[in-house]
Amino acid sequence: MNDLQVRAATPADLDTVLAFWKTAAEGTSISDDTDGVARLVARDPEALLLAERGGELVGTVIAGFDGWRCHLYRLAVHPDHRRRGIGGALLAAAEERFAALGGRRADAMVLDRNDLAHHAWRAAGYGPEPQWTRWVKPLTG
């Protein structure tokens, strides 16, 4: 795995990332568009982490920190590259980022129906908190 590189995304990566998520991520979000990801990268240039092997995008994670909590989103590994430590490398980079920022606990949003992801998150030391339910409201502008 020594040829795996993890780096922060740049604005030039946005189209590649969005296309990647269509192949590697489970489900979509209201902010999964060029404008949404561009705002993320502009606001927090170190939050969107990319894993590349041989110049090819093979994994992503968003490691967002709001000054109080550490949030993980869009952990995705290309189906042809799974079970090779890429997700673990991305999570390690995210956790290092959080520790450097003073974060104390990371949480992840994981779809209930995504059993494959459940195994990956558990293997990385994460576990569900069944007492919480996520409440959402789409904002219109």
Q: Which two tokens stand for residue 120?
A: 């990956």
Q: What is the pLDDT of residue 138?
A: 78
Give the neighbor-by-neighbor strand order of the sheet with 48-53. Answer: 4-8, 48-53, 56-65, 70-77, 106-108
- What angle do the packed helices 34-43 and 14-24 form, to 10 degrees? 120
Helices assigned H by DSSP within the chain: 14-24, 34-43, 86-101, 115-123
Over the stretch 56-87, which tens digit does the pLDDT of each residue have?
A: 999 999 999 999 999 999 999 999 999 999 99
The structural domains of the chain, ordered by start, are 4-123 (3.40.630.30)
| Cα distances (angstroms) measured from residue 67 to each of 70, 103, 106 | 8, 8, 12
Question: Which of 114, 124, 53 shows the shortest CA–CA distance to 88?
Answer: 124
Max CA distance (Å), the chain: 45
Over the stretch 13-66, which tens digit does the pLDDT of each residue have?
A: 999 999 999 999 876 677 788 999 999 999 999 999 999 999 999 999 999 999
